[in-house]
Amino acid sequence: MSQESSAAGYAGSASSVAHGLWSSRWVFILAATGSAVGLGNIWKFPYITGANGGGAFVLVYLACILVIGIPLLMAEVMIGRRGRKNPAGAMAALAKRAGASRHWRMVGGLAVLTGFLILSFYAVVAGWALAYIPAALSGSFTGLTAESSGALFGELLADPLKLVLCASLVLLATLAIVACGLHKGLERAVRYLMPGLFILLLILVGYAATTGYFGRALEFLFVADFSKLSGETVLVALGHAFFTLGLASGAMMAYGAYLPEGTSIAKTSILVAIADTGVALLAGLAIFPIVFANGLEPGVGPGLVFVTLPIAFGQMPFGQLIGVLFFVMLLIAALTSAISISEPSIAWLTERFGISRLKAVLTSGGVLWLLSLGSVLSFNVGADFTLFGKTFFDSLDYLTTNWMMPLGGLGTVLFAGWVLQQTTQREAIGIASDRWFLIWRWVLRYPAPLAIMLVFLQVIGVFG
């Protein structure tokens, strides 16, 4: 115990100097919320809710966030703060202190790599949002039908130059922010971008409330029809809970590494999860009334935001303005997430090789850009190049979401629940009440690993 706490003090001071700490717990909450709120909330949550029948799915999703998501989020922030390094370094240091195998750092390394790969295609999708801003502005949505809207999106995907330009701009913005460091880069960005995001969201929900279909959207989101629920829906909900909180990819560990001592990990994590869920639900309340008011289908899948919504923007009053605001909001949400997804690899490069932040950004930026190029080309000229029957973009998405994230997540919960000693956990997590601490610990040790294994078995097709 005494050996552990002195080691913690040592690790704490060593690298908080290298990277600095968040200036306050509120900036951390803003940054972590910025990480959590992204394409997952505004693009993915509404369409998977639509495709999985609405209310019942939402209920299961909320349960997943509460039961698995929050405890895991707390665990990741805890590992970061306790280790005070990039995910791989933090896990190595903590494993050493606990007398466990150094190989645990591979779990952190896997998380860093996962985030890195995710960013390469996340930036491509964020690029679509960027491309849709001028489209909305110039009135390209006016008079769109289901076919012509599909064709408009198809045209974008078929245009490698435009896609490369947009993805590169997103990457450039992300890395420029990250290059400026914790205080001048990340903190400054989230201080401006997050309030902007919330204001835009509220404007859009306010507009949706005037369409006359708000009640119908509420019903769609909150009235549960359990006949629409299947085992698979439950697993989709759990997988999405991971994605939306940005777990298992090092992002929250890296952000946790800069969290000042004395800030309650439990309270901040709960706040972040509430904000993230709130934004997802509000995004649904902004999108579905517009979809219903224009006689469109909520269950179309990934095209909901890029194909269905533009049709609505093209035929509704103030559609041009609302369309621009919507895609600006989507872009901001994606940008604050992209920043967090890149931080673990930047921190890893600087700490592992002792290079400057700028050098780390340039190195990883180059590789990221090449990878994003692969994703871009897989929608057009490179569509025939496939790995295991999937395009480059789909393979990366599949590999990271279905394999790397569950494996990394599993490793992380096992580490947090079984390797770290109870005294370390208790000290680190800062939950005053014994009962809540024990519940948290129990969740990490049993239900969380089990649930992740189930998701994993489902995605690799064990259940058919």
Query: Per-residue DSSP letters for 287-343?
Result: HHHHHHHTT--TT--THIIIIIHHHHHHHSTTHHHHHHHHHHHHHHHHHHHHHHHHH
For the bound state, the minimum distance from the C-beta of residue 241 to ligand TRP, rounded and expressed in Å, comes to 10
The Cα 286–Cα 316 span in angstroms is: 14
For the bound state, the minimum distance from the C-beta of residue 451 to ligand TRP, rounded and expressed in Å, comes to 17
For the bound state, the minimum distance from the C-beta of residue 246 to ligand TRP, rounded and expressed in Å, comes to 3
For the bound state, the minimum distance from the C-beta of residue 111 to ligand TRP, rounded and expressed in Å, comes to 9
Kind and range of the H or E run holding 427: helix 422-429
Closer residue to ligand TRP, CB minimum distance, 112 or 311:
112
Counting other chains too, the contacts that 349-354 makes at CB distance below 8 Å and 24 or more residues apart are 350/18, 351/15, 351/18, 351/85, 351/86, 351/89, 352/86, 352/88, 352/89
CB 19 within 8 A of CB 258: yes
For the bound state, the minimum distance from the C-beta of residue 38 to ligand TRP, rounded and expressed in Å, comes to 2
**C-alpha dihedral, 73 to 27 to 287 to 122, nearest 10°:** -70
For the bound state, the minimum distance from the C-beta of residue 251 to ligand TRP, rounded and expressed in Å, comes to 4
Half-sphere exposure of 237 (CA within 13 A, CB side): 26
Distances (CA, A) of 384 to 161, 395, 408: 18, 13, 31
The Cα 297–Cα 31 span in angstroms is: 34
E-only strand ranges, 81-213: none
What is the DSSP pairing of strand 386-387 with strand 390-391?
antiparallel
For the bound state, the minimum distance from the C-beta of residue 112 to ligand TRP, rounded and expressed in Å, comes to 11
Closer residue to ligand TRP, CB minimum distance, 283 or 296:
283
For the bound state, the minimum distance from the C-beta of residue 96 to ligand TRP, rounded and expressed in Å, comes to 26
Closer residue to ligand TRP, CB minimum distance, 248 or 431:
248
Local structure of 230: helix, strand or coil? coil
Closer residue to ligand TRP, CB minimum distance, 38 or 150:
38
Residue 460 has phi, psi (to 5 degrees) of -85, 5
Query: Per-residue DSSP letters for 190-223?
Result: HHHHHHHHHHHHHHHHHHHHTTT-HHHHHHHHHS
For the bound state, the minimum distance from the C-beta of residue 250 to ligand TRP, rounded and expressed in Å, comes to 8
Closer residue to ligand TRP, CB minimum distance, 38 or 298:
38
The Cα 364–Cα 349 span in angstroms is: 8
Closer residue to ligand TRP, CB minimum distance, 296 or 330:
330
Closest CA to 77 of 277, 244, 251, 241: 251
Local structure of 282: helix, strand or coil? helix
Q: Specify which residues 386 forms β-bridges with.
A: 391
Distances (CA, A) of 457 to 235, 239, 397, 399: 10, 12, 17, 14
For the bound state, the minimum distance from the C-beta of residue 33 to ligand TRP, rounded and expressed in Å, comes to 10
Closer residue to ligand TRP, CB minimum distance, 79 or 311:
79
For the bound state, the minimum distance from the C-beta of residue 453 to ligand TRP, rounded and expressed in Å, comes to 19
Interaction site with ligand TRP (CB under 6 A): 35-36, 38-41, 115, 118, 243-244, 246, 249, 251, 337, 340-341
Closer residue to ligand TRP, CB minimum distance, 311 or 347:
347
Place of tokens 């997804």: 341
Closer residue to ligand TRP, CB minimum distance, 337 or 391:
337
Half-sphere exposure of 48 (CA within 13 A, CB side): 26
Closer residue to ligand TRP, CB minimum distance, 41 or 294:
41
Residue 99 has phi, psi (to 5 degrees) of 75, 25
Closer residue to ligand TRP, CB minimum distance, 36 or 290:
36
Residue type, 424: T
Local structure of 18: helix, strand or coil? helix
